[in-house]
Amino acid sequence: MTEGTARVTLEVDGRAVEVPGGASLLDAATAAGVELPALCSDTRLGPVGSCRTCLVRAGGRLVAACVTPAAAGARVSAVAADLVELRRDAVRTIVSALPPYALGPQMPSELARVCRTLGIGPEDARGAGGRGRDDSHPYVRLDRDLCIACGRCVRMCADVQGTFALTLTGRGADTAVAPGTGGPWAESDCVSCGGCVDTCPTGAITQPGGGSGLTSGELLRQGPGDPAAPAVVRTTCGFCGVGCALDVAVGDGAVAAVLPALDGPVNRGHACVKGRFAHGFAVSPERLTTPLLRQDDGRLEPVGWDTAAAHVARRLADAITAGGPDSVAAISSARATNEENYLFQKFMRTVVGTNNIDNCSRLCHAPSAAGLVASFGLSGGTDSFDDLVRADCLLVVGANPVEAHPVVGARLLQRALRGARLVVADPRKVGLARQADVHLRPRPGTNVALFHGLARVLLAEDLVDHRFLRERASGLAELAELVASYTPEHVARVTGVPAADLIAAARLYGRAERPAIVYGLGVTEHLHGTDGVRTLANLAILRGAVGTDGGFGVNPLRGQNNVQGASDMGALPDLLPGYGKVTDPAARSRAEAVWGRPVPARPGLRIPDMFAAARAGRLQALWVLGEDVCATDPDTGNVEEALTACPFVVCSELFPSRTARHADVVLPAASWLEKDGTFVNFDRRFQRVRPAISPPGHARSDFAALHAVASAMGRGLDCPTPSAALAECARTAPLFAGLSHERLDREGAVAWPCPDPAGPGTPKLYGERFATPDGLAHLAAVPYLPPGEAPDDAYPFVLVTGRRWAHYNSGSMTRRSGNLGLAPADHLDLHPDDAARHGIRDGGDVVVESRHGRARLTARVTSEIAPGQVFCAFHFPASGVNRLTSGHADGVTSCPEYKVTAVRVLAVGKRAGGPGGA
């Protein structure tokens, strides 16, 4: 359905119905309670009217309802006996080419249900079959005998996912779907989003084991309370920060299938290989199922929760006695719910008595928080994703959303395919770069120079909004003076981006009516990451494209599912829930009034400072929750040293992680499929997380674990349920005062700021004024400074790390799912010229060495990477990639410089060292 502005009223079988402008007669019939068969139709796709199973009469003519617009005042006949007969004939004709089992009693397909409604049975299915199967893919099964060539799968793959992996082959009645590459499905371009499985109306494309056997449309049609429906739990994906709403179908206490919610506020019926399929980790035999306590002989032994909680409580109390509250520290998690993060920071501040709490946004988007606050006032993206996909020019910087945020990547790609101009700034030829009007490939670490170069062109060519700059911004004179020297030629020398490309990109962004900036960790994870965010934000300010109708601002793609929420909840050493400063007496007393306990005024330690304090013998106890710091933090050798030095370490985890190996107590945690609460996604939307299954054994939510330890310390934390915790947070933080579980259950998603339970959230920020003290957007005149590491003769390559499509972060969940079959190892990407020069072959083993460590990987020779650079992911900690990265970090936020490490590469069997290192 295409939503128009006006609504239209028409009559269906004598009943008046109102539908949005642009709706079809199929929508009108549905609104009138008439269910028509519509085998080639899916609400996520444009209508094609090819199957002719939705025939109705309108204005005296027989029409396919799905392709006929609902006109105001139209009179539609849908249930007349002759129409039912015509539709039955159309469906019977389609069915006649299928084998009888297509309508067998066990077949839960949309087609089988339609046939049951129309009185069509297996005896009407007379096809001989023999068109063959394809069972090559781990997540997709194709039975070509059941294909009716409706094309829904092909269109899902092209029009929603944008991969174009499928096609219809054959002639006439033999037409059936097949991978476009012609070979087995497993060797096709398929990225396993599951869209084809999810839309296929016949059971021709299914997932192994059948899943729930239903599509999202069928689940929605059945609705809650239908006794025939499987138990379905609506929740929010626990992998990346997009925040896809998922329907988890549950059978016998286990996940039968995960389907994207058709009415998902962000994803609208789409998902990716992680959210859709990678739930196998939940039943992995490696799950931690009972608390473990380190014994005198060094072994970790199972104990009960009471024993574990009492031990943690005693050791924390001992640490406080020995070293004071500031000798205890905690690392909270972007994987945990808001309520768990809220409770953890409350525990540290009110029970332990320290601000030593931080979360893993320190390692990714802390520069976004600092930069966006400095430029605009609030620590979040400026606009809603719903608006982003209306932009007429997309500037995508330092991000590979096609792989790392696939649902966003697919929507941006579709926007570009439908005519929006696309500028991609990334050293690698990332997915979106193939569709870009201009692809800027700056050398890693030169973003600030690039953004200044773009700003200079905007100013030089008068592509700026003078009124906006006069009335709503500050700092123009200083910026203009600074960027005067960033000529395209100078910027070309610094960044490697040709001057003409820089000018072309600036013109596209500067001349667009509704430009939008989307960026990722390629902007933040640098020595000057905060400067990168601020100088990128300069472009939107110059252009008047933030806080106005003239554009869609500056929007970070958050990496982990709840990286926004963990910081929103105050799991930060200097900020309370809702971003009140711990140094601000008014913010402290607001929290103290709710908590009934004093809040320490001195900012606590950041994650790298915690490790440094541990190594220096100043930390007595560290609780690490939901974060495998020994796998994901930079320079992991130093992290392991810190954990070894710390007298008492608690680790809350799903699996026996590398960090757990260093722990004195390991607490088995519940996963996102097993707990209750909320997440905040990348565009500041709160959404509900609901338990679909029970945690294994004695595993518990972190929420329950925190209560257990607090209670063992003789202190209550109040808020006994996640719902009560969010309610208390709403009383503590004005930014979230209007939020509650009840409201989210009713409305689905609400974007903060939401100060009023009766008022709406705020998807688009700064319509009236910016949230800075003076109400203005602040241009940043900060000079370009080089990265912490540069290649030299000994380490001639620049290593950039990032993510691949099938895995997530350290891979602890995706490696324990079927996704391992799709991507069984990390690779080192390097350019063909470099490979030839150093005698490295595609698929060959290589050793990568930096000044900090050594990793072993398999080479992937590809021109996606620029000469002189190499790229790898960090999904397989055993390869040692994070041992390579340096200790350099953003000066403002301590975010590590993951994106620039000088390395050398050696084909295994050759001797390291010497020029080129290989």
Give the Å distances, CA to CA, from 119 to 68, 628, 724.
Answer: 27, 57, 51
Amino acid (one-letter) located at 753: P
Amino acid (one-letter) located at 162: G
Chain centroid to CA 851:
32
Cβ atoms < 10 Å from Cβ of 232: 23
Tell me phi and psi for residue 481, to 5 degrees. Answer: -65, -45
Please identify, using beta-carbon distances, which residue of 610 and 873 lies nearer to ligand SF4. 873
Work out whether 239 is an interface residue with ligand SF4 (CB under 6 A): yes
Work out whether 406 is an interface residue with ligand SF4 (CB under 6 A): yes
Query: From the list 38, 240, 660, 905, which residue makes contact with ligand SF4 (rule: CB under 6 A)?
Result: 240
**Interface with ligand SF4 by CB under 6 A: which range of 404-412, 418-426, 604-612, 826-834?**
404-412
Query: From the list 274, 526, 741, 827, which residue makes contact with ligand SF4 (rule: CB under 6 A)?
Result: 274
Among 341, 298, 290, 315, residue whose Cα is nearest residue 667: 290
Work out whether 432 is an interface residue with ligand SF4 (CB under 6 A): no
Please identify, using beta-carbon distances, which residue of 243 and 580 lies nearer to ligand SF4. 243
Please identify, using beta-carbon distances, which residue of 276 and 590 lies nearer to ligand SF4. 276
**Beta-strand runs (E) in 127-240:** 133-134, 141-143, 166-169, 176-179, 205-206, 231-236
Give the Å distances, CA to CA, from 736 to 359, 361, 739, 857.
Answer: 20, 20, 6, 45
Give the Å distances, CA to CA, from 377 to 27, 372, 528, 773, 775.
Answer: 43, 7, 20, 8, 8
Please identify, using beta-carbon distances, which residue of 242 and 865 lies nearer to ligand SF4. 242
Bond from prior residue into 184 cis (ω within 30 degrees of 0): no
Work out whether 811 is an interface residue with ligand SF4 (CB under 6 A): no
Please state the three-class secondary structure of 254-279 as a single string: EEEEEEECCCCCCCCCCCCHHHHHCC
Cβ atoms < 10 Å from Cβ of 123: 8
Distance CA 282, CA 674 (A): 9
CB of 236 to ligand SF4, least distance (A): 8
CB of 372 to ligand SF4, least distance (A): 21
Work out whether 875 is an interface residue with ligand SF4 (CB under 6 A): no
Distance CA 5, CA 329 (A): 53
Query: From the list 41, 109, 206, 267, which residue makes contact with ligand SF4 (rule: CB under 6 A)?
Result: 267
Bond from prior residue into 760 cis (ω within 30 degrees of 0): no
**Interface with ligand SF4 by CB under 6 A: which range of 44-52, 269-277, 296-304, 386-394?**
269-277
Pairing of strands 777-778, 473-474: parallel
Query: From the list 195, 275, 488, 796, which residue makes contact with ligand SF4 (rule: CB under 6 A)?
Result: 275
Work out whether 91 is an interface residue with ligand SF4 (CB under 6 A): no
CB of 242 to ligand SF4, least distance (A): 4
CB 233 within 8 A of CB 248: yes
CB of 385 to ligand SF4, least distance (A): 11
Distance CA 754, CA 380 (A): 13
CB of 243 to ligand SF4, least distance (A): 6
Residues 6+ apart with CB under 8 A from 578: 568, 570, 729, 732, 733, 734, 735, 736
Please identify, using beta-carbon distances, which residue of 108 and 195 lies nearer to ligand SF4. 195
Chain centroid to CA 36:
36
Work out whether 820 is an interface residue with ligand SF4 (CB under 6 A): no
Please identify, using beta-carbon distances, which residue of 275 and 695 lies nearer to ligand SF4. 275
Cβ atoms < 10 Å from Cβ of 475: 18
With vertex at residue 334, the alpha carbon angle to CA 333 and CA 340, rounded to the nearest 5 degrees, is 60
With vertex at residue 458, the alpha carbon angle to CA 453 and CA 460, rounded to the nearest 5 degrees, is 90
CB of 267 to ligand SF4, least distance (A): 6
Name residue, tokens 């992995």. 284
**Interface with ligand SF4 by CB under 6 A: which range of 235-243, 357-365, 458-466, 839-847?**
235-243
Cβ atoms < 10 Å from Cβ of 311: 20
**Interface with ligand SF4 by CB under 6 A: which range of 47-55, 272-280, 379-387, 671-679?**
272-280
Cβ atoms < 10 Å from Cβ of 721: 13
**Interface with ligand SF4 by CB under 6 A: which range of 142-150, 172-180, 399-407, 500-508?**
399-407
**Interface with ligand SF4 by CB under 6 A: which range of 36-44, 214-222, 240-248, 857-865?**
240-248
Query: From the list 244, 308, 614, 903, which residue makes contact with ligand SF4 (rule: CB under 6 A)?
Result: 244
Please identify, using beta-carbon distances, which residue of 405 and 456 lies nearer to ligand SF4. 405
Cβ atoms < 10 Å from Cβ of 82: 11
Work out whether 666 is an interface residue with ligand SF4 (CB under 6 A): no
Chain centroid to CA 915:
41
Please identify, using beta-carbon distances, which residue of 681 and 886 lies nearer to ligand SF4. 681
Work out whether 265 is an interface residue with ligand SF4 (CB under 6 A): no
**Binding-site string for ligand SF4 from residue 353 to residue 392, where x marks contact by CB under 6 A and - marks none:** ----------------------------------------
CB 498 within 8 A of CB 443: no
Work out whether 815 is an interface residue with ligand SF4 (CB under 6 A): no
**Interface with ligand SF4 by CB under 6 A: which range of 47-55, 264-272, 343-351, 593-601?**
264-272
Work out whether 401 is an interface residue with ligand SF4 (CB under 6 A): no
**Beta-strand runs (E) in 491-620:** 515-519, 554-556
CB of 739 to ligand SF4, least distance (A): 20
For 397, the token pair is 């910087």
Please identify, using beta-carbon distances, which residue of 350 and 814 lies nearer to ligand SF4. 814
Query: From the list 17, 39, 197, 237, which residue makes contact with ligand SF4 (rule: CB under 6 A)?
Result: 237
Tell me phi and psi for residue 178, to 5 degrees. Answer: -160, 155
CB of 606 to ligand SF4, least distance (A): 27
Among 278, 281, 280, 303, residue whose Cα is nearest residue 290: 303
Q: Among all residues, whose Cβ is closest to ligand SF4? A: 275
Size of the site for ligand SF4 (CB under 6 A): 14
Please identify, using beta-carbon distances, which residue of 560 and 740 lies nearer to ligand SF4. 560
Please identify, using beta-carbon distances, which residue of 89 and 263 lies nearer to ligand SF4. 263
CB of 3 to ligand SF4, least distance (A): 22
Query: From the list 140, 407, 699, 712, which residue makes contact with ligand SF4 (rule: CB under 6 A)?
Result: 407
Q: How many residues does the chain have?
A: 918
Cβ atoms < 10 Å from Cβ of 862: 16
**What are the residue ranges of helices labelled H in 338-475?**
338-346, 366-375, 385-388, 401-404, 406-417, 447-460, 466-472
Work out whether 632 is an interface residue with ligand SF4 (CB under 6 A): no
Distance CA 145, CA 204 (A): 7
Work out whether 243 is an interface residue with ligand SF4 (CB under 6 A): yes
CB of 407 to ligand SF4, least distance (A): 4
Work out whether 410 is an interface residue with ligand SF4 (CB under 6 A): no
**Interface with ligand SF4 by CB under 6 A: which range of 266-274, 280-288, 445-453, 861-869?**
266-274
Work out whether 807 is an interface residue with ligand SF4 (CB under 6 A): no
Among 258, 218, 256, residue whose Cα is nearest residue 238: 258
CB of 264 to ligand SF4, least distance (A): 9
For 193, the token pair is 């989003």
Site for ligand SF4 in 500-559 (CB under 6 A): none
Work out whether 255 is an interface residue with ligand SF4 (CB under 6 A): no
Please identify, using beta-carbon distances, which residue of 244 and 751 lies nearer to ligand SF4. 244
Please identify, using beta-carbon distances, which residue of 157 and 244 lies nearer to ligand SF4. 244
Residue ranges that bind ligand SF4, judged by CB under 6 A: 237, 239-240, 242-244, 267, 271-272, 274-275, 405-407
